[in-house]
Chains A and B, each alone.
Chain A
Amino acid sequence: MHFQQIIASLNNFWANEGCLLLQPYDTEKGAGTMSPHTFLRAIGPEPWAVAYPEPCRRPADGRYGDNPNRAQHYFQYQVLIKPSPDCIQEKYLKSLEQLGINPKHHDIRFVEDNWESPTLGAWGVGWEVWLDGMEVTQFTYFQQCGGLDCRPVSIEITYGIERLAMYLQNIESIWDLRWNSAVNYGDIWLSFEKEQCEFNFTQSDPIRQKKLFEIYEEEASNLLSKNLPIPSLDYVLKCSHTFNLLEARGVISVTERTAIIGRIRKLAKRVAEAWLAKRKDLNFPLLQ
């Protein structure tokens, strides 16, 4: 199954389960969770069901394309359903079957993994799904988001598309994955990977990036004071990405890390609170 078919298959499956099919959000982010389609929608009483592929950037994970399993830019397939429905694990297993993974031929396990995003002030409990020992999906019942208790609780399912694809195509390097019958993953992304790594690890200027972090932080904070949580979230995400860039340059120690994460979390909390208040003013339209 080609990479693009995997996305199509998951789209098809979750659309049939009643999910909205959305597109990636246009800001750099470390995980599909950070998209407003998840981060904001997991907050408050309104129901929601969405599925979308999301490109993710984790600058420190780059290996100049030399490592067969790692890249600083990759894809997640994200599903968020609120409230979390019954039989969701069984549904998830059906989605794997549709990808051609027959559970009877494998060892599929749900192993405890409690997810936490300290920058977003979000945490949940759930599982990582192991397919013959390989973690292919993260399964999380959101308990808090932006520091707010989630009521009702959302279920988030995050597939690692590359890993699944490598498994399905029986291929040992991410760069050899077939995107369609003619073009490989590497044909598309390898040159991006190399240049971005060059930027992430050597050409990015830590002093300028630190300044950018502060500018973004200020912008986010100012937007909050104008009660504009949605654009503010964009700048919180930029803070988070800039922080990741600084980390990739190795200029932040473990001790300093805690402090910066705290600053981003503070903003994310305020975004969450402002979003909830505005939805409340609108009488939570999706409840009707």
Chain B
Amino acid sequence: MPADFARLALPHLDQLVLRDLKQLRLNHGDIHCTSTPRRLVLLIEDLAARAENLEEERKGPPVSQAFKDGSPTQAAIGFAKRCGVEVESLQVRETLKGPFVFAKVIEIGAPTTNLLKDQIPKWIGSLQGRRFMRWGSGERRFSRPVRWLVALLDETLIPLCLAGSDPEICTGKVSRGHRLLNDQVEISSADCFSDVLKEVGVEISRKKRLEFIRTAVNEASTSLQARADLPEDLLEELADLVELPSLIEGDIEESFLELPSEVLSTVMRVHQRYIPLYRAEALNDPLALDAKHSLLPRFLCIANSLDDAADFVKSGNERVLKARLADAKFFVDADLAITSKQRCEQLDKVTFSEGLGSLLDRVNRIKWLAKELVHDLNLSGLNSGNVKRAADLCKHDLVSQIIGEFPELQGIMGAKYLLAEGEEREVALAVMEHYLPKGYGDSLPESDAGSLLAIAERIELIISIFAKGERPSGSSDPYALRRAGNGLIQILWHKDWGLDLISFLEKALLYWEKLLPDLDFNVSLLASELAEFLRQRIVSLLEELGTDVDIVQSVAGETVSTVRSLSDPVDTKVRAELLGEMRRSGKLLAVQAVVTRAARLAVKSNLSPILLDASKVVCPDLFEKSCEEDMFAVIKSLEPIVKAADRERYALLADGLVKGSEALSAFFDGEQSVMVMVEDSKVRNNRLNMLGVLRNQAWTIADFSQIVGG
């Protein structure tokens, strides 16, 4: 079975079995689900021989109908018969509706074997996994072909067959051992399963195999004064690749440490599932071109072989690694024979995408965007010459040999080559970082130059692909545009960079229109499509961060203009976080209630939604009650806050709304409350305008009508 199948399926199976045994009224002890590469194992301790009886009381006819002159009537006899009890055993009990006849019914629990005969195929059928398959002529689907099935209740075989498997699989007592030792082995009793399998070379406990590997690797690396690079997912995979783990220590020829550590570790970890060993005291420089200071010329390997085979297995694995590394060395040497600048020129010969020119054309567009970003972001301390240089060089490694073989190292190898050629560190680092993040949860670029270049790279991709008329659809996003959009927003958030994406996109589209006149697109239509696409990215990222869905909608939902959500995505995030905090501290409810009421009435006036200044449209002379004065005071106090330009204004505004919420609700509900929709149009409009201004002020934070409750 695939190494990750068991890991993903076992917890599910565990839950399922627990639930079904309860439903079947089968008492049991501990449940153990485990697996090896060739088998799934379910052990249930102290399983009852049969299900518990079910006692149930059923209500029959009223006593008046059930007995006549003390003897049972036909009604009572019929009821007793239906319940399968003697008529004499019927009992009489008082109820709210008078005395009735009751029968105690006992459903006898079925033998466990009978129940499991039906249940086991259901358990097998309900296991889920990725990429299930059919085999032979059968229609059954499973992770890999099912070849045998053992089902025992203590010593007794539970007879059953799996429908749809080819050939048909029926249960037996014969299991299979380690491939190299003993293929067929009889299991006389469920109790001895684990021991019998151990005798034929299989440790069925996944946990024991995992701990064995962890301990063996720790011991070996400690004695070598090394740090084993064994992430938890590799450890789990190793435990799921072997039935009988053993540790093999292999050597790497010293000369291969001239290769970058990322190349060595990718070959070892990803291609071969070996465990690389880092020198315990080493600092790994991501831009270093060799691994002499970071890696040991050793590796660890978890084998699934017999002890006598250790020498063969060691030399075999060393050979494989040697061949793979010789390959990599060949590529790196070939790459170092020419310069990165020469590679950049070769980009001209690689088509980027039909209608969009070559990769060199793409690089030139990235360069233009980077230049514009330098201008718009206006960052202090940024060396714009280095940004330009990095933009020029950012894709050179795409035509290198090593990336042809290790595409996952793009950017990393490019940066190393550049540094080795004497390029400035900042430039090399930016080239490496401009691919980050590679997906959600990946690390983000840290340097300003790298972040800026990463943004330019993503905008180039999104605009170009949209401009040539392709869009990501529900299931298909071959150019990974969504990932690019997410990366763009994440970087802006991470760097706290206020970038007006709306005007930036418009500017870029005008440039694209001039540059690629053959592409058929309309600048303003495409600008709004791109804005909508990025708005959805913000929505999805905010939700990914755990923001409540209604809060997300209130700052970046469909009712919010894209100008509002994209003119500064950092601002949008700040507002979402503020609303989240208000909800947690219990302040959101009051504000939301008042603002929503104000907004609901305010639609009855024609007040511009951007007007924030009450004095122009509200006349205090028309006030009739003190609550109007109070409300006016609140609005006036919020005015300077909403007009400020900094992001702190949102928190202040929120505070102001919270503080004023009492005065505001008094306007609607207090003893001194007013009626808004009065006959006198002057008074009415005055009140409506006041509500409108309040709504507009609150909308600086969010569209409160999207917020559901406090």
Contact = CB atoms under 8 A, between A and B. Distances in A.
B351 A252 contact: yes
Contacts of A106: 305, 309, 312-313, 316
A250 B317 contact: no
B349 A67 contact: no
A167 B2 CA distance: 26
Given A90-B183, A133-B317, A105 B308 contact: yes
A66 B334 CA distance: 11
Contact of A133 (B3, B180, B316): B316
A255 interface: yes
Interface string A190-221: 00000000000000001000000000000000
A85 B3 CA distance: 23
Interface string B213-230: 000000000000000000
A44 to B, nearest CB: 13
Given A60-B404, A252-B350, A253-B352, A153 B136 contact: yes
B616 interface: no
B353 A255 contact: yes
B327 A253 contact: no
B328 to A, nearest CB: 11
A233 B77 CA distance: 80
Contact of A63 (B135, B316, B330, B398): B330
Contacts of A141: 133-135, 145
B359 interface: yes
A117 to B, nearest CB: 15
A107 B309 contact: yes
Given A86-B147, A133-B301, A153-B135, A256 B352 contact: yes
Contacts of A103: 179-180
A208 B321 CA distance: 40
Nearest to A113: B2
B507 interface: no
Contacts of B144: 125
A249 B346 CA distance: 11
Given A143-B134, A250-B399, A107 B350 contact: no
Interface in A94-116: 103-112, 114
Interface in A113-150: 114, 124-125, 131-134, 141, 143, 150
A140 to B, nearest CB: 10
Contacts of A63: 330
A251 interface: yes
A27 interface: no
Which of A86, A90, A259 gathers most chain B CB within 10 Å?
A86
Interface in B325-348: 326-327, 330, 346
Contacts of B346: 250
Contacts of A131: 316
A61 B193 CA distance: 49
Contacts of B36: none
B131 interface: yes
A68 interface: yes
Contacts of B308: 104-105
B37 interface: yes
Nearest to A150: B134
Interface residues on B, range: 35 or more
Interface string A44-68: 0000000000000000100100111
A109 B316 contact: no
A258 B133 contact: no
Contact of A251 (B135, B241, B317, B351): B351
A141 B306 CA distance: 29
Given A86-B147, A133-B316, A255-B352, A107 B305 contact: yes
A15 interface: no
Interface in A231-262: 249-253, 255-256, 258-259
A132 B314 CA distance: 8
Contacts of A124: 133
B312 to A, nearest CB: 5
A24 interface: no
Contacts of A153: 133-137
A259 B241 CA distance: 37
B485 to A, nearest CB: 17
A152 interface: yes
Interface string A255-275: 110110000000000000000
Given A106-B313, A141-B145, A256-B354, A125 B399 contact: no
B336 to A, nearest CB: 15
Interface in B279-309: 301, 303-306, 308-309
Nearest to A107: B305
Contacts of B137: 83, 151-153
B478 interface: yes
Nearest to A152: B137
Contacts of B313: 106-107, 132
B354 A107 contact: no
A12 interface: no
A70 interface: yes
Contacts of A60: 404
B330 A66 contact: yes
A184 interface: no
B626 interface: no
Given A104-B180, A252-B351, A134 B319 contact: yes
B353 A134 contact: no
A260 to B, nearest CB: 10
B2 A68 contact: no
B78 interface: no
Contact of B37 (A69, A85, A110, A249): A110
Interface string A75-94: 00000000111110010010
A104 B320 CA distance: 19
B84 interface: no
A150 B316 CA distance: 37
A152 to B, nearest CB: 4
A66 B398 CA distance: 22
A183 B328 CA distance: 29
Contacts of A108: 179-180
B298 to A, nearest CB: 15
A112 B132 CA distance: 12
B672 interface: no
A63 B134 CA distance: 39
A112 B3 contact: yes
B136 A70 contact: no
A68 B326 CA distance: 8
A58 to B, nearest CB: 12
Interface in B141-178: 144-145, 147, 166-167
Nearest to A66: B330
B480 to A, nearest CB: 10
B353 A250 contact: no
B107 to A, nearest CB: 42
A184 to B, nearest CB: 18
Interface string B384-406: 00000000000000110000100
Nearest to B350: A253
B136 A152 contact: yes
B323 A250 contact: no
B213 to A, nearest CB: 15
Contact of A253 (B304, B319, B359): B359
Contact of B321 (A114, A133, A206): A133
Contacts of B322: 172
A105 B303 CA distance: 12
A134 B136 contact: no
Contacts of B167: 86
A47 B327 CA distance: 41
7 contacts: A84-B135, A86-B167, A103-B179, A106-B313, A106-B316, A253-B351, A258-B478
Given A131-B316, A132-B313, A153-B134, 5 more contacts: A133-B272, A172-B319, A249-B349, A250-B346, A252-B351
Q: Lowest 10 A-B CB distances belong to which pairs?
A: A132-B316, A112-B2, A107-B305, A255-B353, A152-B137, A133-B317, A133-B320, A134-B320, A83-B136, A256-B351
